[in-house]
Amino acid sequence: MRPQRLILPALCLLAASLQSSASVAQGLAEPMRAPPTDAASMRLSFAPIVRRVAPAVVNVYSRQVVRQNVDPFWGMFGGGFGVPRERVAQSLGSGVIVRSDGVIVTNNHVVANGQDIMVVLGDRREFPAKLLMADTHADVAVLKVDVGAEKLPVMALDDRDDAQVGDLVLAIGDPFGVGQTVTNGIVSALARSGVGITDVSYFIQTDAAINPGNSGGALIDMNGDMIGMNTAILSQSGTSSGVGFAIPAALVKRVVETAVAGGQVSQVRPWLGIKTQEVSADIARSLGLDRPQGVLVTDVFPDGPGAKAGLKQGDLILAIDGQPLNDESTLNYRIATRRNGDDVALTVRRDKGATETVRVHLAPPPGGAGEGHLITGQNPLAGATVSALSPASAEALGLDPFTARDGLIVTKAGEGAAAQFGVQDGDIIRAIDNVTPHTVTELEAALKAHTGGAWRLTTQRGDQIRNLRIGF
């Protein structure tokens, strides 16, 4: 049976506040790592750690009204022949209080599309939660509950990225909705990538039992600090098989900082403005390397941070701030955990020559998300909401920012003519009647200039170009 990657609800324990007075913020020396030496040390308990952090662990659930069509055959016996019915779908997961004023972190897939989000504290009180930010790329959501002047218990967020394979860890969450549960294990691998869970694919792997309901929960170290957010498992049965994945706390912290500051999703992660590819054995031989290493620059966005720093197509990036790179996921993660305005040092090899250091000043993707504009009238785009295409808007929709050079982007297909003709969210409008619009004004002008007959609409979805002739 082929193993499946399952994203699972989980409980998380995050930072007291981003300036927490807990153990991380106190600047503790690196913990001594030592295996048990005798039977007495094997009988030591995790209870003191759990007792301290458990109050910061919460249950998160959301409700969503789903419309579904009744099967026409069965509809004949129950009424409502083919009429859509509504049902309530519920998602269950875990969360962690990261600030005493009620800021909570969970996985985005726990609350995605939820119309009512509720948080249940350890003392069984329930609060409606407001979604401050949903970062679909990292699968992190930041919530806020109103507790007035009350100070909630919090957990410290350890963003030092110094976990080691073999470290003891605990996972705390609400698996299967049975109630708060603690499991223990070790860090079984670091920097796991290519598991296809999130766009920023760089995980801490653990054998601590993680099951459905644990998503959004915390993976904590022996200081009681959160080092990762439990997010998924690799399983053949749908339950824990000892291979779980957690989003590193350093990435979670960047999302929290942006959300609390009132920022936008497009501002969460800095942008290098380059495209890269991993170095295969064949590429390594062609570059005169003794083994595959680094990532190869294949494209540079004009006037982006990389271009301004002098990066060029064909450059081989071997390290970032002295940390070796072996794949794109590592580069993306290292950039994602920096802040906009930071400078990073890239070790670059050019033309099979000596290496040099290139300093890049990080910045968010240019252009902003842009305001949506609803298209009206008798045309094939009626009902769709569009905005100017930019690297920022493309990034926010999970698209390739390098496609953001011409055209407009559909932010919402709506339910009008556009949807009937197959237009979907994220489609790029490349041309209307052979005219390429760069702004909403130019698009509306092209629509008004139509003189009759079939419309010619060109859109792009991923790498696929669609050329349509549409008649009314």
CATH number of 1-28+45-268: 2.40.10.120
Q: Quick check: 121 and 58 in contact, CB under 8 A?
A: yes
pLDDT score at 371: 67
CATH architecture classification, 274-361: Roll (2.30)
Q: Which CATH superfamily is domain 373-470 in?
A: PDZ domain (2.30.42.10)
Do domains 274-361 and 373-470 share one topology? The answer is yes
Distance in angstroms (rounded) separating the CA atoms of residues 217 and 13 = 6
Q: What is the reported pLDDT for 30? A: 57
Q: Write out the two tokens for 437.
A: 């619009």
| Distance (Å, whole) CA 400 – CA 396 | 10
How confident is the model at residue 7, as a pLDDT?
54
Q: 367 and 105 in contact (C-beta within 8 Å)?
A: no
Rounded to whole angstroms, the Cα distance separating 366 from 220 reads 36
Q: Which residue, 272, 162, 309, is CA-closest to 221?
A: 162
- What the block records as the tokens of 470 is 């549409």
**Nearest one of 49, 22, 34 to 182, comparing CA atoms:** 49
Given 17, 20, 62, 109, the catalytic residue: 109
**Residue 215 falls in the annotated catalytic set:** yes
pLDDT value at residue 173 = 92
Q: Which of 101, 135, 139, 427 is catalytic?
A: 139
pLDDT of residue 84: 55
So where are the chain's domains?
A: 1-28+45-268, 274-361, 373-470
Which listed residue (215, 266, 329, 390) is catalytic? 215
Contact 345, 209 (CB under 8 A): no
Neighbours of 118 (CB within 10 A): 19
- What pLDDT sits at residue 26? 47
The two structure tokens encoding residue 221: 């170290």
Which string of b and e fits 15-28 if b means at least 16 CB within 10 Å?
Answer: bbbbebebbbbeee
Q: What is the pLDDT of residue 40?
A: 74
Angstrom distance (rounded) from CA 49 to CA 45: 9
Which residues, including other chains, have CB under 8 Å from residue 35's CB and lie 6 or more apart? Answer: none
Annotation marks residue 109 as catalytic: yes
Quick one: pLDDT at residue 112? Answer: 87
CA distance 50 to 369: 42
pLDDT of residue 18: 37
CA-derived radius of gyration, the chain: 25
pLDDT at 12: 36
pLDDT along the chain (472 residues), means of 10: 48 36 50 70 82 94 64 49 54 91 95 88 93 90 95 93 93 87 94 72 90 91 95 76 90 92 75 92 91 94 94 95 89 90 95 89 80 88 89 75 76 89 89 89 92 90 86 75
* pTM (two decimals): 0.76
393 catalytic, yes or no? no
The torsion angles phi and psi of 94, rounded to 5 degrees, stand at: -125, 170
Type of residue at 424: Q
